[in-house]
Structure 1
């Protein structure tokens, strides 16, 4: 399992030197400053590779750009409206440019409107650190009373609507603004930033798009880009919905093992794969992460390893981002399955036998609390998570106490 680290570019407050000291082997990055739907120029790709390859004082970092996360799919493509055909042409050209630069793995998602959703970006946990949290009642409050989506209250249980109403009545305008900002929060340096009016406009355009229609639009997209990816040696891997249940009345098509099975079967190619995110998928109690790794592992091209603590047993409910070994996903069992998959690939002679992973997100602890880096992407919290995951990998790979003995017990 190749240890990687997400980097948002030169404006990221956790830099290349930090990654070198963390002992990672590769970098996960993207050109967030380029508008969605536009071609990624070769010059910009090479520039980012150069930035990754150099430490602050100009010495070589020894790091390479291993995974693109993400080459975004435009809303036009998802809805098959506007310039969607031009955007697909541009997407394929970007893939060719990435392949020319030697990059082989591209992570992306097909979530409508919002890439991911949290209601609190700095939720205080018992030890005094902070993490990101999704509060189902707060989200209902946002949907019903701030966004004022028509008939939004019909999508929530009666007790959740009532609790949201009570919170709304006691909320200040500043609190409401803060919640709205959290829900539509974007990536640093991203070219696209959504306003509330943008969200409402997109939601209106999705009114006529059913789950089946969105899935077919996804298959149409893959039918165009996967043959190109396979030809040029790129492995595409779709990130799951985050969170993996219905929000804002929008269709969700990548939330379960069954969802992935439909897409992998519809466009059956080794280039059409999975980003198995244990945090996103783990927010649903009916998702079996070790089992998914075992059954779908042949097509897992990238791993996000993080954990969440679910606050209810419902499919849709509140959760917060726990320590990497402290949530509801059995991380030891998941890593054991990943190591088994690597062994199978190596025995079969696959060049892609080593699966890259990154310690996804992390709690803000110690100096993270004053550094104020991108929410979910602190330096020390992720380093702590990486150290824990690295320890599991080392123990399971040890000759005297390893994977076979763990499985027997």
Structure 2
């Protein structure tokens, strides 16, 4: 029976989790990127091959690129947009030359992903990632002091944010500030207030529809190149799946996914099916997304979330959250049998257990992800056995 291709994310030589640690989990595939290359620059063959060789020496293969980032000029369709699209095409050519087949990316303006708490304390003492809209509004209005931010929120929400902020001391406010402005995954640099405000000015007047058109323009240029090269592009959903900082969002809902895949209707234009990001929006039906777009799903991020009142959600155990993981994995297994092809999967995020005192990249502790991998692996094995008996 065809099964998921199990992988783990690795942030490169500076990651606190080593390849030898990951190899002992039993996975044979690595998900990584060349984080040292500035966004928009071409990935050269020699750099790709150098990273491949490091991974192969550890007994594994580089299976998925996550991510080949999209320059802000492309998202805004301004500045040197066409130059950066040309660079993206060249990077895809070099990636294909090295034998890599799946490229994940996202189209979120400025901030790659956002959490307000990187160490939410669970009852059992583990720590998890959490997004709390009250905290974010307090950050947006009173810490970042974005121009016009108050107009984006109701008075009730502003009052809730003020009440939340009044519970924080100076150290806690600084921690919230640092959490939100963490920066790109894999980067050791955080955004500054001045840089974020400058970037926000560049997005003034750009609506959801404008950003969607810019995404379709980008895909209409690069997806045919990827198709010819045998490379699959997998867009990651917005995280969180709703607007932050007044920025447009175009990969948050089922309708968004339909618009993207139908806008450039070729197989290379596909989806990174992230159950955590999609599941944070209670209106998304994750099983239906597989039914409708299964053949365009190229990469799997399996994790779970617990949604709470308002736009507040936290990472949960992989099999114990608001996403129906059993139904999701069964649908994916049936899809893979039909297509006779396994999809690359990584357990996304994980709790920080007390044995690991800190993590360089929040959500990417080794033990927490190993626990998630074991749970998904066992669930898949059990469902596969059940399907064989039917």
- TM-score, normalization by structure 1: 0.92
Mapping 1:243-392, distance limit 5 Å:
243-312=240-309, 314=310, 317-346=311-340, 353-368=341-356, 370-392=357-379
What is the aligned partner in structure 1 of residue 382 from structure 2? 395
Superposed CA deviations along residues 79-116 of structure 1, whole A, max 9, x for unmatched, are 11211111111111111111011000000000011010
What is the aligned partner in structure 1 of residue 22 from structure 2? 19
Contact 1:366 1:380 in 2 (8 A): no
Superposed CA deviations along residues 5-43 of structure 1, whole A, max 9, x for unmatched, are 000001111111111110112010000111001001111
Change (3 A) 1:114 1:404: farther
- CA apart distance, 1:403: 6.4
| 1:70 equivalent in alignment to 2:70 | no
| 1:50 equivalent in alignment to 2:43 | no
What is the aligned partner in structure 1 of residue 145 from structure 2? 148
- CA apart distance, 1:171: 3.2
Mapping 1:22-171, distance limit 5 Å:
22-55=25-58, 61=59, 63-171=60-168
Change (3 A) 1:104 1:35: same
Q: Compare 146-155 and 213-222 and name the one that shifted more.
A: 146-155
Contact 1:16 1:54 in 2 (8 A): no
Contact 2:182 2:189 in 1 (8 A): no
| 1:230 equivalent in alignment to 2:227 | yes
What is the CA–CA distance in structure 1 between the aligned matches of 2:16 and 2:183, rounded to whole Å? 16
Change (3 A) 1:243 1:188: closer
Q: Compare 320-329 and 161-170 and name the one that shifted more.
A: 161-170
What is the CA–CA distance in structure 2 between the aligned matches of 1:384 and 1:248, rounded to whole Å? 34
Instruction: For residue 45 of structure 1, give the secondary structure of its aligned residue in structure 2.
Output: helix
Change (3 A) 1:192 1:217: farther
Contact 1:35 1:191 in 2 (8 A): no
Change (3 A) 1:73 1:339: same
- CA apart distance, 1:345: 0.6
What is the CA–CA distance in structure 2 between the aligned matches of 1:277 and 1:372, rounded to whole Å? 22
Structure 1 vs Structure 2 CA RMSD: 1.4
- CA apart distance, 1:279: 0.3
Contact 1:32 1:191 in 2 (8 A): no
Runs of 5+ in structure 2 lacking a partner? none
Give 4+ residue runs of structure 1 displaced > 4 Å after superposition: none
What is the CA–CA distance in structure 1 between the aligned matches of 2:64 and 2:27, rounded to whole Å? 13
Contact 1:304 1:359 in 2 (8 A): yes
Contact 1:13 1:371 in 2 (8 A): no
Instruction: For residue 244 of structure 1, give the secondary structure of its aligned residue in structure 2.
Output: coil
What is the aligned partner in structure 2 of residue 179 from structure 1? 176
What is the aligned partner in structure 1 of residue 6 from structure 2? 3
Contact 1:143 1:152 in 2 (8 A): yes
Change (3 A) 1:403 1:310: farther
Superposed CA deviations along residues 55-82 of structure 1, whole A, max 9, x for unmatched, are 3xxxxx1x10000000000111101121
Runs of 5+ in structure 1 lacking a partner? 56-60, 347-352
Contact 1:72 1:109 in 2 (8 A): yes
Instruction: For residue 22 of structure 1, give the secondary structure of its aligned residue in structure 2.
Output: coil
- CA apart distance, 1:205: 1.5
Q: Compare 163-172 and 18-27 and name the one that shifted more.
A: 163-172
Q: Paired residues, what number?
A: 387
- TM-score, normalization by structure 2: 0.96
What is the CA–CA distance in structure 2 between the aligned matches of 1:43 and 1:112, rounded to whole Å? 30
- CA apart distance, 1:318: 0.5
What is the CA–CA distance in structure 2 between the aligned matches of 1:260 and 1:202, rounded to whole Å? 26
